[in-house]
Amino acid sequence: MKLLAVETSTEACSVALHIDGEVAERFQIAPREHTKLILPMIDSLMADAGLKPQQLDALAFSRGPGSFTGVRISTGVIQGIAFGADLPVVPVSTLAAIAQHYFKMAESDYAFTAMDARMGEIFWGVYQKNQQGFAQLLGDEAVTLAENIIFPDGLGKGIGSAWGVYQQVLSNRLGDCLTGFELGHLPRASAIADLGVLGFEQGKAVDVEKAMPVYLRDKVAKKESER
């Protein structure tokens, strides 16, 4: 299985290439420079592997949520490659990618994932590591006020950029469910690749015309037991 993945939804820009279980990655934190970096990163990674796009089995990209411009960059780049090489595409959630990378690094199997969505809101999703080691969404992803988050009962750690802005509100809301939080967790193309291969194997790849970004809107949240 050969799959190329891109991720540009935050200040980080990254590309990953999955070849038969091995993943190579280019990663750089470079706000507002994604358009300059992403294509050279792809060319470098593909050249090192001695591959052309037509030799890939599929593509994967971060479909959001995230910065509007960043999500459009990853979508546009993948659409261009997919059209040119006639490849299927696996859209992957940015929040899922953050949780997936965290689960590969930590022993925890439960994550309260929150990205700063600006304008007083956050992108929110609760993920659990399944038996195969992949991030599995519990409930729905949403854009919401920090004080209105939905979360199932369970112990977990907070991860993502919103914890640096709304840590007190989120901590108060989660109460005893929260075991701590960690800043600095950004989505990475290596996690997009992991989830992209899984999605491909599960039949979730789509034609390029359906490889579109996802923007979360108007999802109000509260604890499941309070609904």
pLDDT digits (tens, 9 = 90+) for 14-47: 999 999 999 999 999 999 999 999 999 999 999 9
The confidence band for 217, taking pLDDT boundaries of 50, 70 and 90, is low
Integer Cα distance of 213 and 70 in angstroms: 10
Angle between helices 189-201 and 94-105 (to 10 degrees): 100
Alpha-helix residue ranges (DSSP H) falling in the chain: 34-49, 68-85, 94-105, 167-174, 189-201
The pLDDT of residue 221 is 41
For residue 133, is pLDDT > 60? yes
Backbone angles phi, psi at 59, to 5 degrees: -125, 160
Regarding predicted confidence, which is higher, 224 or 148?
A: 148
Enter the DSSP assignment of 219.
-
The third-level CATH classification (topology) of the domain covering 104-182 is Nucleotidyltransferase; domain 5 (3.30.420)
Model pLDDT, residue 112: 98
Q: Which pLDDT does position 226 carry in this prediction?
A: 45
In this structure, CATH architecture of domain 2-93+187-210: 2-Layer Sandwich (3.30)
Name the band, by pLDDT with cuts 50, 70 and 90, for residue 69: very high
- Residue 210 phi, psi dihedral angles, 5° rounding: -100, 5
Q: Per-residue confidence at 224, pLDDT binned at 50, 70, 90? A: very low
Counting residues of the chain whose pLDDT is more than 70, the rounded percentage is: 95
Indicate if the pLDDT at residue 225 is higher than 80: no
> What are the residue ranges of CATH 3.30.420.40 in the chain?
2-93+187-210, 104-182
Average pLDDT over the chain reads 94
Contact 147, 165 (CB under 8 A): no
